Amino acid sequence: MGEPAIERLRSSVVSKLTDVPKRILIGRALRSDRLGETLLPKRIALPVFASDPLSSVAYAPGEVLLVLSIAGVTAYHFSPWIAVAVVVLMFTVVASYRQNVHAYPSGGGDYEVANTNLGPKAGLTVASALLVDYVLTVAVSISSGIENLGSAIPFVVEHKVLCAIGVIVLLTLMNLRGVKESGSLFAIPTYVFVAGVFTMIAWGAFRGLVLDDTMRAPTADYVIKPEHQGLAGFALVFLLLRAFSSGCAALTGVEAISNGVPAFRKPKSKNAANTLALMGLLAVTMFCGIIALAAATDVRMAENPARDLVHNGVPLGPDYVQNPVISQVAEAVFGKGSFLFLVLAAATALVLFLAANTAYNGFPLLGSILAQDRYLPRQLHTRGDRLAFSNGIVLLAGAAGLLVWIYGADSTRLIQLYIVGVFVSFTLSQTGMVRHWNRHLATEQDRAKRRHMVRSRAINAFGAFFTGLVLVVVLVTKFTHGAWVALLGMVIFYATMTAIRKHYDRVAEEIAAPEGPSDDSVRPSRVHSVVLISKIHRPALRALAYAKLMRSDTLEAVSVNVDPAETKALRDEWERRGIDVPLKVLDSPYREITRPIIEYVKGLRKESPRDAVSVIIPEYVVGHWYEHLLHNQSALRLKGRLLFTPGIMVTSVPYQLQSSEAAKRRARRQQEWNAPGSVRRGPAQERPREPSDPKA
């Protein structure tokens, strides 16, 4: 049985056990030439890439009111002006990114823009910020969704960490099935949520303006006990800036479309730009509508509701659960327990869970690009069975799950870490776009194109200035509230990716093929072959026969004297059989096997540095996993040590035991079954064989 057949035989044992559950969970593997079938139309791309900014309207208005509550309910009248500032910022960012998707449609997004125009350090800074933000997007969105769902199902709130991690696992499996399938699943709740919010805004406006109904939130009768009464001057300005920075959570995920342009159907840039504009329009309308309805229905929110919310002169206490703003507004507009209230509550929870899909599409794609640029492990550049970047998806899920566990799935605590990375990438990306237009304007002669470039440069310049200003505000107002953790994460990502790149560069330089002759290309003067022998048996005789076929300059058999009686029996048997290969026995006073052999072959190399030493190891091939446990691993350790010895070649000579025939038959049956995924895998993947122990 040939070497490829042995490899297929051994891999079949594990692959048969893993293929069936894998196909059940993530589906049949797709051929590489079906990648085009996974591209997204605009109606699917909107919920896939824009679910994060669309769903952020479920918690961003609440974050604004929470901060303003520090100064008491009188500060709530600033909320409409903060909403206006957020809207201006949103339109600025959307307009800026529309320039990005046309200029850089390859999917590199902010990273590619900064790397190309501002240099590798700026590009790596943007990449670090985006990776941190994607992880936080998953953690914040799912934690917020759990809190929204908990307003209707108390069990979810009581076990919110476990429930949040369960949702992360579910989303991970859905995304491993592929972007198109996950997008189709996510489209329905996203559109139901958008329709529900617009229905709530329209019905609330009709009731308030036309019917003149009185709509009151369930917290309307509560009194807020301000932490700082009568703020004025700089303190009030600082509070408003902090509220504005919290409201900027509505902008998270805007950059995901520029990173996901390759996933759109043609014309990619045009479809991405249109989706971006539609997303911005929907997000700002819903954000402003909820802020307006919150003011009209007298919603009350507090950072510490147990202490700062008072009803009839008594604090509500630790048992009080503060529902999100959108839930309170929906209850005031539709009525608690009504059909529309329940539909919107369910859609809100679902869309917040699914908002994490923005990160599930952005993080793996960015990770793939960074891996291609040698800043992350190359495994992140490989597509899985369903043509998704599976390794990146799993890495994102693990990091987000860890954050959820550390912060107890508390969205209020997690959101303090949020948006720092977003505005770092916003600012550097728009600055890079200004540099991009300057470079093209220096060579472009066509007047119409120059006018277009000048207009685009003005948009990006304003975007860079505005987002840079917001970044300063966010850092100043949120640093002590948790933003430092996000900055620390960015530093860790930056340092790790820099170290990985240095490693890959060092390896590439070390293994680069030289122009002239080198020690690796010059033929060795001689080849000294060494066959490791523990006793005379079929594997040993096969290894000796193979070594003779190599026609080495010198050939010898080597054994280690661990047991004098066994060594004497080996010598006697060697002489009795008349084997025409000299047998050398190495002494081992401490009964070691690996060290004497390593020292011996090193000595051969030292005596003749231009000679190559070939170490030949006979090995068993078994067919059952438990049979591997019945042989000790000294030969495997020996092979591992020899691989680190320069000038030493290691050759394994397999000998198939009867159990390997059973494994071969199992492999043949599996091939006849033609398990899904075999097309992508091709020949069975290489797997280390279990070598026989020279002393077994």
Q: Is the pLDDT of residue 677 over 70?
A: no
Residues 340 and 382 in one domain: yes
Joined tokens for residue 126: 């943007």
Residue 530: other Cβ atoms inside 10 A: 23
Torsion over CA: 576, 582, 588, 592 (sign): negative
Show Cβ contacts of residue 694 under 8 Å, excluding neighbours closer than 6 positions: 532, 533, 534, 559, 560, 593, 617, 634, 635, 638
pLDDT of residue 582: 93
CB 109 within 8 A of CB 100: yes
* Residues 486 and 574 both lie in one domain: no
Residue 687 lies in a domain: no
- 266-270 long-range CB contacts below 8 Å, 24 or more apart? 268/105, 269/101, 269/102, 269/105
Residue 327 one-letter amino acid: S
pLDDT on residue 495: 93
Q: Which of 441, 466, 501 is the last residue of a domain?
A: 501
CATH of the domain at 122: 1.20.1740.10
* Cα angle, residue 190 at apex, residues 402 and 361 outer, rounded to 5°: 45
Domain boundary among 463, 484, 501: 501
Give the angle subtended at the CA of 595 by the CAs of 591 and 596, to the nearest 5°.
75
Q: At 532, phi and psi to the nearest 5? A: -80, 125
Residue 445 CB neighbours (<10 A) = 6
419 Rama sector, left if φ>0, alpha if ψ -120 to 50, beta otherwise: left
Residues 6+ apart with CB under 8 A from 251: 53, 56, 86, 89, 90, 93, 419, 422, 426
The phi-psi region of residue 585 (left if phi > 0; otherwise alpha if psi is between -120 and 50; otherwise beta) is beta
20 lies in a domain? Answer: no
Read off the pLDDT of each residue in 428-439 and give the average, rounded to a whole number. Answer: 90
Give the pLDDT band (50/70/90) at residue 632.
very low
Question: Strand pairing of 583-587 and 309-311?
Answer: unpaired
Q: What are phi and psi of 391, to 5 degrees?
A: -65, -40
Residue type, 47: P
Q: Say whether both 115 and 259 belong to one domain.
A: yes
Residue 534: HSE in the Cβ half-sphere, 13 Å Cα cutoff: 16
- In the chain, % helix, strand, coil (3-state, to 5) comes to 70, 5, 25
Does any domain span residue 14? no
CA-CA distance, 235 to 156, in Å (whole number)?
38
Does 357 have pLDDT greater than 80?
Answer: no
Q: What is the DSSP secondary structure assignment for residue 33, as one 8-state letter?
A: G
CB 367 within 8 A of CB 259: no
Looking at the DSSP bridge assignments, the partners of residue 395 are none
pLDDT in tens, 459-488: 889 888 888 888 888 888 777 777 788 888
Copy the structure tokens of residue 354: 């699914």
Question: What is the reported pLDDT for 202?
Answer: 93
Say yes or no to pLDDT of 552 above 60.
yes
pLDDT at 388 over 60: no
Q: Are 69 and 301 in contact (CB under 8 A)?
A: yes
Peptide bond into 267 cis (omega under 30): yes
Instruction: Specify if 632 maps to a domain.
Output: yes
Is residue 693 in a domain? no
Same domain, 388 and 276: yes
SS3 383: coil
* Tokens, residue 628: 């591997």
Same domain, 545 and 442: no
Residues 448 and 541 in one domain: no
How far apart CA 93 and CA 100 sit, in angstroms, is 10
Structural domain contains residue 8: no
Residue 569 confidence (pLDDT) above 60: yes
Does 486 share its domain with 535? no
Query: In what side-by-side order are the strands of the sheet with 648-656?
Result: 583-587, 554-561, 527-532, 612-621, 648-656
Residues 137 and 204 in one domain: yes
Integer Cα distance of 93 and 467 in angstroms? 8
Residue whose tokens read 């122990």: 693
Distance (Å) of CA 536 to CA 90, 556, 611: 79, 14, 28
Output the pLDDT for position 661: 66
Residue showing tokens 């990770």: 367
**186 & 298 share domain:** yes
Alpha carbons 192 and 197: distance in angstroms, whole number: 9
Contact 193, 347 (CB under 8 A): yes
Distance, first Cα to last Cα, the chain: 24
Identify whether residues 471 and 582 lie together within a single domain.
no
Q: For residue 692, is pLDDT > 70?
A: no
Q: Say if residues 293 and 143 touch (Cβ distance below 8 Å).
A: no
For residue 585, give its domain range. 527-681
Mean pLDDT of the region 125-150: 84
Check which CATH number belongs to the domain holding 632 and give it.
3.40.50
Query: Residue 689 falls within a domain, yes or no?
Result: no
Query: Region 121-140: what's the mean pLDDT?
Result: 88
Nearest Cα to Cα of residue 74 among 289, 316, 298:
298
CA distances from 148 to 100, 247, 618 (A): 35, 18, 64
- Between 402 and 508, residue with greater pLDDT: 402
Beta strand extents in 163-298 (DSSP E only): 223-224
pLDDT at residue 235 in the model: 75
Tokens found for residue 146:
């759990």
Alpha-helical runs (H) found in 297-410: 305-308, 325-334, 339-372, 390-406
Per-residue pLDDT tens for 72-107?
A: 777 888 888 988 988 888 888 888 888 888 888 776
Condensed to tens digits (0 to 9), the pLDDT of residues 176-217 reads 765 444 556 667 888 888 999 999 999 999 988 888 888 888
- Are residue 62 and residue 149 in the same domain, yes or no? yes
C-alpha–C-alpha distance, residues 12 and 19, integer Å:
10
Residue 483, classed as helix, strand or coil, is helix
Query: What is the tally of structural domains in the chain?
Result: 2
Helix axes 79-103, 447-478, angle to 10 degrees: 130
Asked whether residue 77 falls in the same domain as residue 203, the answer is: yes
Residue 509's nearest CA partner among 371, 644, 645, 374 is 374
332 occurs within a structural domain: yes
CB of 152 closer than 8 Å to CB of 144: no
Of 26 and 152, the structure prediction assigns the larger pLDDT to 152
* pLDDT for res 684: 37
Q: Minimum mean pLDDT among 332-341, 447-456, 547-556, 586-595: which range?
A: 586-595
Give the separation between CA 29 and CA 387, rounded to whole angstroms. 8
Q: For 369-387, what is each residue's pLDDT tens digit? A: 888 888 888 777 666 544 4
Q: Hey, what amino acid is at 463? A: G
**Residue 682, burial from CB neighbour count under 10 angstroms (0-12, 13-18, 19+):** exposed
Write out pLDDT tens, residues 210-255: 888 888 888 888 888 876 665 566 677 888 888 888 787 777 777 7
Given pLDDT bands bounded at 50, 70 and 90, which one contains residue 351?
A: confident
The rounded distance, in Å, linking the Cα atoms of 118 and 120 is 7
User: Quick one: which of 390, 412, 332, 397 has its CA closest to 64?
Assistant: 412
Confidence tier at 653 by pLDDT (50, 70, 90): confident
